[in-house]
Amino acid sequence: MITRRTFIQKTSVTAASLPFLSHTLPYFENTTLHTQSGVLKVALMGLGSYANRVAKAMETCTRAKLVGVISGTPSKIEEWKNRYDLPEKNCYSYENYSEIESNKDIDAVYIITPNGLHCEQTLKVARAGKHVICEKPMAVNAKEARQMVDACEAAGVQLLIGYRMHFEPKTLEAIQLRTSGQLGTPLFFQGLSGFRIGDPNQWRLNKALAGGGAMMDIGIYSVNGARYMLGEEPIWVSAQETKTDPIKFKEGVDETIQFQMGFPSGAIASCLSTYSMNDLDRFYLNGTQGHIEMKPSTGYGPIQGKSHLGPLTAPVVTHQTVQMDAMAGILLHNESPIVPVDGKEGLKDMIIIDALYEAVKTEKKVALPPLTSI
Amino acid sequence: MITRRTFIQKTSVTAASLPFLSHTLPYFENTTLHTQSGVLKVALMGLGSYANRVAKAMETCTRAKLVGVISGTPSKIEEWKNRYDLPEKNCYSYENYSEIESNKDIDAVYIITPNGLHCEQTLKVARAGKHVICEKPMAVNAKEARQMVDACEAAGVQLLIGYRMHFEPKTLEAIQLRTSGQLGTPLFFQGLSGFRIGDPNQWRLNKALAGGGAMMDIGIYSVNGARYMLGEEPIWVSAQETKTDPIKFKEGVDETIQFQMGFPSGAIASCLSTYSMNDLDRFYLNGTQGHIEMKPSTGYGPIQGKSHLGPLTAPVVTHQTVQMDAMAGILLHNESPIVPVDGKEGLKDMIIIDALYEAVKTEKKVALPPLTSI
């Protein structure tokens, strides 16, 4: 069994740099800053399949707890109330969830609805004075994302984006290999993000609800991954779209986009976003002194990876359990994650995705605004 | 030991489709067409390190034999004469090699000189009535390549390009997996071709002699590989250049180019050509029913690969031995290789490379002329 101690010994990192593991300790060892209750009390908004996965994962959280739901479907609310023993007073509809403002038993709302609804819902939750955790992509474009960041700031609540990979141990081990210099200077990142999508009638293939196609849903993993694997912000993008099935993938819903990014150091990224291929989900990072391959790199199941030094050895965890405990640490105890998950982190990805869609349209390289000053 | 029979059984292909293996049989079993001597008598032009590798590999050829050399360095000629027991009358300088016309002991000249010299030298060898084997890239642009194809046709000699991978058993096994339908419809090819180049004063970094940089030398493997792995000709390209060291990589000498290709079926290719990274040399082919990864995919050493069905099992060979025996079959016995190696095959790559350089310059997608009609 890999204990926290042996893991830390193996990866030669300090406990302080491993907040994602802090949930294995009593939370109050980690901070003296918690002014609210010791456990983050979360309501989930949108009770689709991913919400089910998050709720199940939260059953083993030590610092976060599912306490309520927001849904448009009364039968789902009934089902969840029974399954998770939720009090009636913590269950809301889309019509009345502003009333959450007066509910002291809820600290944060995790929005897991279609992308096109995130902005409006985030604004409403912020106005109700609750912290927002918003699933990725945080919005359908940078304009909305900016609005969300501003609204949460104005309301004095925090906005976090559901970047579960930012807390995944092998991902952090890979990042640690880079930051410790063991790869030398990073030169090249390759990200393959995609799967063959099924049901043509799902909201993910509806422009109004999804804001786009594969890029919004799965390509964003390579956009975001390029940034945390290289440890830099891109300065330009280029992109090429391919559509083989215009009936399934309608106007504005991208099936396959190849895209490239350039970084200030001269490092480059080459990525694929697709809804029409399986056996992808691979990250590769090449540096002057070594390299890392992760495959699968962002799926829900165990992440696997190897570097020029050997296999990555950080423990297998349930991503959403670790994510929610870590987010409790951020929201309640002012902890800082190794890779940010705040609204500005999400905004950067939305700015890049806007530029990618522009590059597809114009078939030209698109310069990015300075992302480091956001 | 893997015999020819067990290999054929394993890969379920017929002997007729495996001309690259025919060197293991007495050559006259394979054909009744040979009108010239049974063994291809070859002179090597340009005695650099790759010529040394070819000459050494040819020692175990059964259908091709090194019989002469052309070099500008008398001491090298002396050394080679002794090492390979070459008669004086088969050794030429760059001044007098037109005289090869009257030398009945030479069938073909293998040109292994800097790229910028290939066109002129090919024209001269063709005029002397000898078959030309020209190392890749066949020229520095498509205009020169066309001239070479036309000149050889006019002179009634054959022109082959040194595409050694076209005879490499695991490469052919991968192609066989595609053509037999075991991958389903090919969707995506990824090619990584590169290495960190050393000596800044070598001819490969001289625009006049190399015609470009990494793309000409190593990127061409991904250009060519995309075509034989997908089994289609591209219709567009896009490309992005990155230069981190403008002193080593001068104007017109590309260090790193990311490039993409689109194909009529909707398949796409995403490739990297670089002189500044190690641990590349990887091909990946994704189809609706399966996938293949080859790594290394084009290096001189043993090629390794695996598909969704398991490891590729075709035998390890010395590439240049197999190439030269197969080329003897083409030039003397009218054999047809599975993947062409003629001048038109080379011309297609040069047309694509011209378009890639244009795409780098214009930062726009470039449409290709129809390559299938060449």
**How crowded is the C-beta side of A19, counted as CA atoms within 13 Å?**
22
Going by pLDDT thresholds of 50, 70 and 90, the confidence category of residue A23 is: very low
Average pLDDT over residues A156-170: 98
Chain A CB within 8 Å of residue B237 CB: no
Chain B CB within 8 Å of residue A318 CB: no
Using an 8 Å CB-CB cutoff, list chain A residues near B258.
260, 268, 270
Place of tokens 């695991």: B170
Chain B CB within 8 Å of residue A247 CB: no
Residues pairing with A159 in the sheet: A132
Of A190, A256, A363, the CB nearest to B268: A256
Place of tokens 């991208």: A254
- Residue A346, SS3 per DSSP: helix
> Nearest CA to CA, how far is A204 from chain B (Å)?
21
| Dihedral over Cα of A7, A11, A16, A21: its sign | negative
Mean per-residue pLDDT of chain A: 92
Say if CB B240 and CB B253 are below 8 A apart.
no
What is the C-alpha to C-alpha distance for residues B233 and B348, in angstroms, rounded to an integer?
Answer: 9
Is B286–A279 a contact, with Cβ atoms under 8 angstroms apart?
yes
Residue B154: burial class (beta carbons within 10 Å; 0-12, 13-18, 19+)? exposed
Give the pLDDT of residue B37.
Answer: 58
pLDDT tens track for A131-150:
999 999 999 999 999 999 99
Chain A CB within 8 Å of residue B280 CB: yes
From the list B136, B170, B228, B348, the catalytic residue is: B136
Using an 8 Å CB-CB cutoff, list chain A residues near B237.
none
Provide the Cα torsion A141, A142, A148, A154; round to 10°.
-160
Is A238–B238 a contact, with Cβ atoms under 8 angstroms apart?
yes
Q: Which two tokens stand for residue A146?
A: 């900016």
Choice between A320 and B38, residue whose per-residue pLDDT is larger: A320
Chain B CB within 8 Å of residue A308 CB: yes
> Nearest CA to CA, how far is A184 from chain B (Å)?
12
Give the pLDDT of residue A21.
Answer: 44
Give the pLDDT of residue A9.
Answer: 38
Average pLDDT over residues A246-272: 98
Along the 374 residues of chain B, how does pLDDT read in single tens digits? 333 333 333 333 333 344 444 433 332 333 333 344 589 999 999 999 999 999 999 999 999 999 999 999 999 999 999 999 999 999 999 999 999 999 999 999 999 999 999 999 999 999 999 999 999 999 999 999 999 999 999 999 999 999 999 999 999 999 999 999 999 999 999 999 999 999 999 999 999 999 999 999 999 999 999 999 999 999 999 999 999 999 999 999 999 999 999 999 999 999 999 999 999 999 999 999 999 999 999 999 999 999 999 999 999 999 999 999 999 999 999 999 999 999 999 999 999 999 999 999 999 999 999 999 99
Give the pLDDT of residue A90.
Answer: 98
Count of other CB atoms within 10 angstroms of residue A15: 14
CA distances from residue B327 to B33, B63, B77, B121, B299 in whole angstroms, order as listed: 15, 9, 25, 19, 20
Give the pLDDT of residue B219.
Answer: 98
User: What is the percent of chain A where pLDDT is above 70?
Assistant: 90
Using an 8 Å CB-CB cutoff, list chain B residues near A286.
277-280
Closest CA to A162 of A328, A344, A342: A342
Residues pairing with B2 in the sheet: none
Q: Which two tokens stand for residue A210?
A: 């999804």
Using an 8 Å CB-CB cutoff, list chain B residues near A256.
268
From the list B27, B110, B163, B221, the catalytic residue is: B221
Q: Which two tokens stand for residue B10?
A: 């394993």
Q: Looking at A12-16, A42-46, A255-259, A319-323, which range is the least confident one?
A: A12-16
Chain A CB within 8 Å of residue B307 CB: no
Q: Establish whether B221 is a catalytic residue.
A: yes
Q: Which two tokens stand for residue B183?
A: 């991958």
What is the C-alpha to C-alpha distance for residues A303 and A217, in angstroms, rounded to an integer?
Answer: 19
Say if CB A216 and CB A121 are below 8 A apart.
no
- Name residues whose C-beta falls within 8 Å of residue A199's C-beta, 6 or more positions apart in sequence: none
Say if CB A350 and CB A212 are below 8 A apart.
no
Q: Establish whether B136 is a catalytic residue.
A: yes
Is B270–A272 a contact, with Cβ atoms under 8 angstroms apart?
yes
Give the pLDDT of residue B16.
Answer: 38
- Name residues whose C-beta falls within 8 Å of residue B202's C-beta, 6 or more positions apart in sequence: none
What pairing do the DSSP bridges indicate for beta strands B40-45 and A366-367? unpaired
Give the pLDDT of residue A173.
Answer: 98
pLDDT tens track for B274-300:
999 999 999 999 999 999 999 999 999
Give the pLDDT of residue A37.
Answer: 58
Using an 8 Å CB-CB cutoff, list chain B residues near A276.
187
Using an 8 Å CB-CB cutoff, list chain B residues near A258.
260, 268, 270
Q: Which two tokens stand for residue A147?
A: 């609005």
> Nearest CA to CA, how far is B263 from chain A (Å)?
10
ipTM: 0.88
Give the pLDDT of residue B38.
Answer: 87
What is the C-alpha to C-alpha distance for residues A324 and A20, in angstroms, rounded to an integer?
Answer: 10
Closest CA to A358 of A233, A185, A208, A240: A240
Closest CA to B253 of B245, B262, B264: B245
Say if CB A108 and CB A96 are below 8 A apart.
no
Average pLDDT over residues A80-87: 98
